[in-house]
Amino acid sequence: MLNDSARASAVTGIPMSEELRAEIAGRLRRAREASGLSQGQVARKLQLHRPTVSEIEAGRRRVSTDEVAEFAELYGVSSEWLMTGKIGGQNAADERLAVVARQLSKMSDADLDRLLGLLKMLRHSGAEDDV
């Protein structure tokens, strides 16, 4: 498990550990796949070379804070989630959704986990999270 200073170093552009880079790379790949884009499409939209996207997702190339923000914007996910795998302010709402989904549906635990995983990565709009 990475500590906060390691995460902070990644955000501020200070050289990060390989472990952290791999974690971020994995989340970048997950977010891209969830958003429906291929590496080639991402490269075209962000005016990058396709191998660059591939290298980033393989954890072989470092990403800057600005690049993470660009990926987050394109994928519609939270920069915080891309960097840390966590997101503030939504846990209670996600728990409630999980309870409702379990009660109402025939959804398997695996599917529910996937749905909650998607919700967790989405960018927060800042709107009131009422239920």
| Single-letter residue type at 73 | E
Residue 56 and residue 25 in contact, taking contact as beta carbons nearer than 8 Å: yes
Report if residue 60 touches other proteins, rule: CB under 8 A. Answer: no
Report if residue 130 touches other proteins, rule: CB under 8 A. Answer: yes
Run of H or E including 5: helix 4-12
Between residues 13 and 96, which has the closer beta carbon with respect to other proteins? 96
Q: Count interface residues toward other proteins (CB under 8 A).
A: 40
In degrees rounded to 5, what are phi and psi of residue 110?
-65, -45
In degrees rounded to 5, what are phi and psi of residue 25?
-60, -45
HSE value, Cβ hemisphere, 13 Å, CA-based, for 35: 22
Out of 46, 48, 69, 97, the residue judged to bind other proteins by CB under 8 A: 97
Report if residue 88 touches other proteins, rule: CB under 8 A. Answer: no
Minimum distance from CB of 68 to other proteins (Å)? 18
State the binding string over 20-39 for other proteins (x if CB under 8 A, else -). --------------xxxxxx
Distance of CA 119 to the CA centre of its chain: 10
Tokens 């796949």 belong to 33
Residues that bind other proteins (CB under 8 A): 34-41, 43-44, 50, 54, 75-76, 89-90, 93, 96-97, 100-101, 104-108, 111, 114-115, 118-119, 122-125, 127-131
